Each structure stands twice: as C-alpha cells, then as structure tokens.
Amino acid sequence: MRAFVTGGTGFIGLHVVKELIADRWDVTVLYRKTSDLSRLDNLDVQLVEGDIVDQDQMARILSQGFDAVFHVAGDVSLWRMKNDLQNQINIHGTRTLARQSLKHEVGRFVHTSSVAVWGLPDGTINERSEKKGPTAPINYMKSKFYGEQEVLACVQEGLDAVILNPCHVMGPYDEQNWSQLFTMIHRGQLPGVPPGLGTFCHVKDVAKAHLQALYKGTQGECYLLGGSQASYLDVGREVAELLQVPAPKQLPAWLLAMSGQYAELVSWFTGREPAMTPEKAALLSHDVKVDCTKAINHLDYEITPVSRILEESFHWLKHAGYLS
C-alpha cells in the first residue's frame, strides 16, 4: 500500500510518517528545496521534490497512483506579514492537492485541518458547532477554514476525504508552535500569561488518529482532536518549573495585546517575526474548550495528560539544544 504525505518533514507530518512506516506502508514524502530532510535520514521513505501550489507538479506525482494521501502541510504563522504566503499554502495549495487527488482517484484523502476553523467561539465546541473562522481576527483561522471548504467541495464531487481538526498540539520535534512557550519563558521574553484556557493534545495521539481516520473515518466527516484542558497560566507555571526559572505572572488580556502591537510595530523595521503578535495575544486570551467524543468513539482517539505532554516536550527541546 502506497501513501503520499505532505508536510512530512514538519512536526505533525513526521509523526504521521513514522506511524505509516510502523504499519508497513510504502511512504512518499513531499519536500521543498528549503526543507530540512535530516529527520528522515534513517526512515525508509521515498522523497519527491515539489510545491503543493504547483498544479503540474502535483498532477505528475499523484498520477503515480496512491492508496492514501495525507495532507499535513500547512502554514501556522500568526504574523500578518505572512498572510499572503499563508493563503497560498493553506487555501490554494489545499485546493490543488484535493483536486488532483480527485482527478487521479487516490484511495483516501486525510486532511489535517485545525480547531482554528471554529474561530474564537464561546463555550465548548463539537463538530456541530458553528465554524466562525471566516470572521475571526486571525488570518490562520480564516485560511484553514477556506482550505477545509476546498476539501469538502471535492467530497461533493466524489473525493473520499476525512478531515481532522487538532487542537493545541505539543510534543517532540515541535520547533515553532507551542514549543515557543518554552523558549519564551526560558529567555524571559514572555511578559505574562493572560487568563485564557487551552485544549492540549500529544502529537503522537494526533498522528495515530490520522491512521485511524484512514481506516475508520467516514467520508466527508470532521473529527475534533481535543485533549487535556488547562489554563495558560497553569501551563506556564508547569513549564517554568521544568525549566527551573521564575513562573510567569498573570497578565490582563489588554496588556498582552498592547505588547503584541508594539512588537509588531518593531518588526516592520527589523523584518523579523516578533515573539509576540496581536494574533498570538488574541489566541492566548481566549478559551479553547473542545468535546472530542466523536473521535474517541469512532477513531479510538486517546488523550494524554498535559503534564506528560509538557514533560516530553521539555526533554526533547533540551536534548535538541533549544534550551541551552
């Protein structure tokens, strides 16, 4: 059985690749010229260079015949200066891959979407909750929503696709997502933690859910991948304890927002992505509560306690040299 994986050199994608290999799949991983392939050195995979926004390249690759496509690639930036690139990848790239998968009749298309498609909702959400991504103040949420809609449009034309919506994913090999919480606290760059709450899931649980979606998911269905709920303040304190540094203090949401606005203003002159942005401040100031009963019942989805997720993340970041 042959699987094609986008984003296989990244955080979630790497774990999906490992799960596929363990399940004896022949895996082909898409990479770009700028991709770091070192993590794949000891893995039995085929590599193919290409760009998901290039229709001709995707047509050539998918014409080789695949039993499954895992579209894990995505741009997770929370900095508005990258919005155009983010839209190209998350919307247009997803459209290209889904359309070519439909044309070349792949067996099943598993799309890694995000809880972000629900925007900044009130209360606990499930798959039936209104998706407010299009009206959210964060471009990432908008782009993931519209990318998901591209997949669902292809489902209406016959694509056998299943959509996964992970929450705050943490774990080994995370270099630019929630791992920033560790590095910011370690370097003293986090001015404080707002009174928000998140739903955290282990990357290995998310990767296993991708295979379960392949085998057990229902065509056209979305599955929220939730996890342990914890306040950002409690998470920050636990991270600080692991780092053996002073714990961050609670910060009013408006003050964190001002910090993000100032940092973004500075970034216009430096050209470097700031550690805090208005988008990050908005996300950290909001509660993300998720009911993932559907994934538990239908995909045998498992939930790892947040304390264990943080501990494993810490040990990997330390070993990888990010906390030196």
DSSP letter assigned to residue 67: S
Confirm whether pTM is higher than 0.85: yes
* CATH number for the domain that contains residue 13: 3.40.50.720
253 strand-pairing partners:
none
Structural domain that includes position 117: 2-167+201-229+289-306
- pLDDT at residue 256, as a whole number: 84
Q: Is 260 inside a domain boundary? A: no
Q: Is 188 inside a domain boundary? A: no
Q: What is the H or E stretch that residue 198 is in? A: strand 197-202
Q: Which two tokens stand for residue 291?
A: 């009911």
Decide if 165 contacts 198 (C-beta within 8 A): no
Q: Is 269 inside a domain boundary? A: no
Q: Is 153 inside a domain boundary? A: yes
Decide if 110 contacts 212 (C-beta within 8 A): no
pLDDT in tens, the chain (324 residues): 999 999 999 999 999 999 999 999 999 999 999 998 999 999 999 999 999 999 999 999 999 999 999 999 999 999 999 999 999 999 999 999 999 999 999 999 999 999 999 999 999 999 999 999 999 999 999 999 999 999 999 999 999 999 999 999 999 999 888 898 999 899 988 778 888 899 999 999 999 999 999 999 999 999 999 999 999 999 999 999 999 999 998 988 888 889 889 989 888 888 888 888 999 889 888 999 999 999 999 999 999 999 999 999 999 999 999 998
Instruction: Look up residue 116 and give its amino acid.
Output: A
Decide if 123 contacts 207 (C-beta within 8 A): no
Decide if 19 contacts 210 (C-beta within 8 A): yes
Q: Is 175 inside a domain boundary? A: no
Q: Is 225 inside a domain boundary? A: yes
The domain total for the chain is 1
**Which of 205, 177, 197, 170 has the alpha carbon at shortest distance from 314?**
170
- pLDDT at residue 268, as a whole number: 85
Q: Is 95 inside a domain boundary? A: yes
Any idea of the CA torsion for 269, 275, 281, 286, to the nearest 10 degrees? 150
Q: Is 242 inside a domain boundary? A: no
